[in-house]
Chain A
Amino acid sequence: MTQQTQSPQPVVKTPTGIDGFDDITGGGLPRERTTLVVGGPGTGKTIFGLQTLVNGARQFGEPGIFVAFEERTQQIVRNAASFGWDLPALEKKDLFFLDARPTADVITAGQFDLNALLAGLEAKVKQMGARRIVFDSVDVLLTLLNDPAAERREVYRIHEWLATSGLTGVVSARFSGEAPLLSQRYGFVQFMADCVVLLSHRTQDRVSLRALQVLKYRGSGFAEAETPLLIGPQGLEIASLGTTAMDYPASEERISTGVDRLDAMLRGGYHRGSSILITGAPGTAKSTLSGAFVDAACRRGERALLVTFDESAAEIVRNLASVSIDLAPHLACGCLRIHAARTEAGSAEAHLMKLRHLIEEQRPDCVVIDPLSAMIKAGGLIPAVSVAQRLIHLTKTHSITLLCTSLLEGESDTEASPLQVSTVADTWIHLSYLVRGGERNRALSVVKSRGTGHSDQVRELVLSDAGIDLADVYTAGGEVLMGTLRWEREAEVAAEREREHAELKQRRKALELAQTEAQARLEIAQREMEARHAELAVLEVEIKAYEQAWRKRSTGLEARRSVDGEPSAMGHADAPKGKI
């Protein structure tokens, strides 16, 4: 604590070479200082120490010494062989194992100290030019001392020796309690270390979960969160996204989805090196779309890796053959590799690690994980999100096009993937069922597609012996109609049109009839008029006849009355006229 003020220079670090650990500590262990690694039995303390030494000797030219208080050195060498570390070859020059286990038949008679060990190690360090040392594990030594004062004294002795030896030290300590750092016993051990690393192991959902956490790092920043840890075929692997920035290459190249009309919907296909998520309920043809993508990749002569869960390779090939996707030749030529995994086989981390090894082995151009939900759900949601992100990170850094399917059930979560992968995925295609009129039809829609225009329209996904196709959907009254219902609805509308047509025709007929009636009425009126006209003519004749008759009579009278004056005759003439 008091030393903090007098160390303005940054802490120099020694890389462990353990995947991920050097990332979270920003470079590794504090150089020429002591790191305490604490953890329960079987958490990987021994492997951590050993791997630090092996990598030091092999990669960094730093010979090391392993002081084993607990395990027989032969046992350690045998365990290391399973990680592919050839210790016997290293042991000759760069690695020294010291079996310092307390002998069972030793008799204790009074107090003792570790001077012999430290003097011996000192000589050995000089002899081989060692730069690293591991004490595994110090609690066995403490048990031997069996006296709190002696424990403290000897731990300080080791600490002093380490501090002056110029070695980068790893001291492991086993604990079997909930709070190792609150324990009196390890409190002072912790204090002497510049860096404290906690390893843990627990079981969740029947899946084994290991984790590593840096609790303390004097004079340096570090990632404080608990990080998933795996004991893999090549030693410890620590899951870390690293501190590297997101600097993936962005390709403009398009690759086929395996379905022509889907390529068209996406303006040419998926972007190479992008990540695609296909979500949907069971049976919505997610696997079929994946198969089409893999098939297209292999036809282009690319290598593809198909990772499936709880379904054998043979079953997949058979199922896809039913929709005319033949993967067998691709498998035969080695373009395609199908890895059929079991969900229960391990945690999400273990699956990711396996996938990383498969990718390194095969170097595929395209990877399909069907379904992603099976792969990353083992062991809870929090690690799942982290695994999904690292999976995408992994494929993007290798420019691999990654297609994942994910199971979504029910209508409620159609717009929000529970795995939050949707936020990381570049293209998100959602498949759903529309159930109407006693029929299920598959609908496909592109929810999002980064860096590309895409059709917003929902299409009907049609599976047949001939393969996969997308059909335009029929929209009516704001509803999307598919399948039989689409035909029904179309027929219905046709009938309606027919009826309207007939109605119009009927109206025309009615009008025509009315017009004919009016015409007829018009003719009657015409005849009537003619009849009246004739009557009127007759009447005219009668009138003329009458007037003539009247004139004749008055002429006769004039002749008789010619003696009398004329004017009076005119006056008389008026009278008969008024009679008419």
Chain B
Amino acid sequence: MRAQLTSNGKKIELRLYVAGGAPHSVQALANLKALLDTRASANGDHQEVGDHQEVNLEVVDVLEEPLRALEDGVFVTPTLVVLAPISARVIGSLSEREKVARLLGLE
């Protein structure tokens, strides 16, 4: 669970809110997956970054669960909520990958 890696080996927990097939949402999911793929082999929603680091990604479709998004205070899509290793919120299509990578400690 707690692997020593470039990102100090901490667990990464992410939740991405998307709006069905909306362009920005589709882009964001693609960008996030690409970012994680360069550092790990995809394994469904469960990914291993580097050797041991665990990545937990949940994708929430606001069109499927609209009230949940409202309760979570998510008003724009796509929104990436970082729960671990730090707490942060990123909005947008994640096209600026370096920014996201730095945030997640994946440089």
Binding site for B on A (CB under 8 A): 98-100, 103, 105-117, 119-124, 127
Report whether B69 and A112 are in contact in the complex, using a CB–CB cutoff of 8 Å: no
Interface centre among A107, A110, A120, A124 (most CB of B within 10 A): A110
Known contacts A109-B94, A110-B95, A112-B77; A119/B24 CB under 8 A: no
- Given A99, A114, A123, A127, which contacts B76 in the complex, CB threshold below 8 Å? A114
Known contacts A110-B95, A123-B70; A115/B62 CB under 8 A: yes
B7 interface contact, C-beta 8 A: no
**With the chains together, A107 CA to B77 CA distance in Å?**
13
**With the chains together, A100 CA to B70 CA distance in Å?**
9
Contact residues in B for A127 (Cβ distance below 8 Å): 67
**B20: nearest residue on chain A (CB-CB)?**
A115
Report whether A115 and B77 are in contact in the complex, using a CB–CB cutoff of 8 Å: yes
**With the chains together, A106 CA to B82 CA distance in Å?**
11
Contact residues in B for A113 (Cβ distance below 8 Å): 19, 22, 24, 76-77
- Given B66, B93, B100, which contacts A119 in the complex, CB threshold below 8 Å? B66
The distance from the CB of A108 to the nearest CB of chain B, in whole angstroms, is 5
**With the chains together, A222 CA to B17 CA distance in Å?**
45
B59 interface contact, C-beta 8 A: no
Known contacts A113-B22, A113-B77; A98/B90 CB under 8 A: no
**With the chains together, A118 CA to B70 CA distance in Å?**
9
- Given A98, A100, A108, A123, which contacts B91 in the complex, CB threshold below 8 Å? A108
Report whether A116 and B79 are in contact in the complex, using a CB–CB cutoff of 8 Å: yes
Report whether B69 and A119 are in contact in the complex, using a CB–CB cutoff of 8 Å: yes
B103 interface contact, C-beta 8 A: yes
- Given A112, A115, A120, which contacts B93 in the complex, CB threshold below 8 Å? A112
**A123: nearest residue on chain B (CB-CB)?**
B66
Report whether A115 and B25 are in contact in the complex, using a CB–CB cutoff of 8 Å: yes
**Which B residues from 9 to 65 make CB contacts under 8 A with A?**
17, 19-20, 22, 24-25, 27-28, 31, 62-63
The distance from the CB of A466 to the nearest CB of chain B, in whole angstroms, is 78
**B17: nearest residue on chain A (CB-CB)?**
A116
The distance from the CB of A523 to the nearest CB of chain B, in whole angstroms, is 140
**With the chains together, A74 CA to B31 CA distance in Å?**
38
The distance from the CB of A124 to the nearest CB of chain B, in whole angstroms, is 6
Listed from nearest, the 7 A-B pairs whose CB atoms lie closest are A120-B70, A115-B19, A110-B92, A110-B93, A123-B66, A110-B95, A117-B75
Report whether A124 and B70 are in contact in the complex, using a CB–CB cutoff of 8 Å: yes
**B27: nearest residue on chain A (CB-CB)?**
A110
Interface centre among B25, B27, B76 (most CB of A within 10 A): B76
B88 interface contact, C-beta 8 A: yes
**With the chains together, A114 CA to B92 CA distance in Å?**
11
**With the chains together, A99 CA to B27 CA distance in Å?**
27
Report whether B89 and A112 are in contact in the complex, using a CB–CB cutoff of 8 Å: no
Known contacts A119-B19, A124-B67, A127-B67; A112/B92 CB under 8 A: yes
**A117: nearest residue on chain B (CB-CB)?**
B75
**With the chains together, A119 CA to B19 CA distance in Å?**
8
Contact residues in A for B69 (Cβ distance below 8 Å): 116, 119-120
Report whether A123 and B88 are in contact in the complex, using a CB–CB cutoff of 8 Å: no
Contact residues in B for A114 (Cβ distance below 8 Å): 75-77
**A122: nearest residue on chain B (CB-CB)?**
B66
Contact residues in B for A109 (Cβ distance below 8 Å): 90-96, 99-100
Known contacts A107-B99, A119-B19; A112/B70 CB under 8 A: no
Contact residues in B for A119 (Cβ distance below 8 Å): 19, 62-63, 66, 69
The contact sample of 23 A-B pairs, CB cut-off 8 A, is A100-B75, A103-B89, A109-B93, A109-B94, A110-B92, A110-B95, A111-B93, A112-B79, A112-B91, A112-B93, A114-B77, A116-B62, A116-B74, A116-B75, A117-B70, A117-B75, A119-B19, A119-B66, A120-B66, A120-B67, A122-B66, A123-B70, A124-B66
Report whether A106 and B75 are in contact in the complex, using a CB–CB cutoff of 8 Å: no
**With the chains together, A121 CA to B90 CA distance in Å?**
22
Contact residues in B for A120 (Cβ distance below 8 Å): 62, 66-67, 69-70, 74-75
**A126: nearest residue on chain B (CB-CB)?**
B66
Report whether B89 and A105 are in contact in the complex, using a CB–CB cutoff of 8 Å: yes
Contact residues in A for B79 (Cβ distance below 8 Å): 112, 116
The distance from the CB of A435 to the nearest CB of chain B, in whole angstroms, is 76
Report whether A106 and B100 are in contact in the complex, using a CB–CB cutoff of 8 Å: no
**With the chains together, A113 CA to B19 CA distance in Å?**
9
**With the chains together, A9 CA to B67 CA distance in Å?**
37
Known contacts A116-B19, A116-B77, A117-B76; A110/B28 CB under 8 A: yes
**With the chains together, A115 CA to B66 CA distance in Å?**
10
The distance from the CB of A367 to the nearest CB of chain B, in whole angstroms, is 52
**With the chains together, A247 CA to B83 CA distance in Å?**
69
Report whether B22 and A107 are in contact in the complex, using a CB–CB cutoff of 8 Å: no
Interface centre among A107, A113, A119, A123 (most CB of B within 10 A): A119
Report whether A110 and B75 are in contact in the complex, using a CB–CB cutoff of 8 Å: no
Report whether A107 and B88 are in contact in the complex, using a CB–CB cutoff of 8 Å: yes
Contact residues in A for B77 (Cβ distance below 8 Å): 112-116
**With the chains together, A121 CA to B25 CA distance in Å?**
19
Report whether B74 and A106 are in contact in the complex, using a CB–CB cutoff of 8 Å: no
Report whether B88 and A116 are in contact in the complex, using a CB–CB cutoff of 8 Å: no
The distance from the CB of A191 to the nearest CB of chain B, in whole angstroms, is 24
Contact residues in A for B89 (Cβ distance below 8 Å): 103, 105-107
**With the chains together, A122 CA to B65 CA distance in Å?**
11
Contact residues in B for A100 (Cβ distance below 8 Å): 75
Contact residues in A for B67 (Cβ distance below 8 Å): 120, 123-124, 127
**With the chains together, A117 CA to B71 CA distance in Å?**
11
Contact residues in A for B92 (Cβ distance below 8 Å): 108-112
**With the chains together, A382 CA to B79 CA distance in Å?**
54
The distance from the CB of B62 to the nearest CB of chain A, in whole angstroms, is 4
**With the chains together, A455 CA to B20 CA distance in Å?**
86
Report whether B25 and A107 are in contact in the complex, using a CB–CB cutoff of 8 Å: no
**With the chains together, A97 CA to B13 CA distance in Å?**
30
Interface centre among B17, B20, B27, B91 (most CB of A within 10 A): B91
Report whether A111 and B75 are in contact in the complex, using a CB–CB cutoff of 8 Å: no
Interface centre among B22, B27, B70 (most CB of A within 10 A): B70
**With the chains together, A119 CA to B89 CA distance in Å?**
20
Report whether A106 and B66 are in contact in the complex, using a CB–CB cutoff of 8 Å: no
Report whether B90 and A107 are in contact in the complex, using a CB–CB cutoff of 8 Å: yes
Contact residues in B for A112 (Cβ distance below 8 Å): 24, 76-79, 91-93
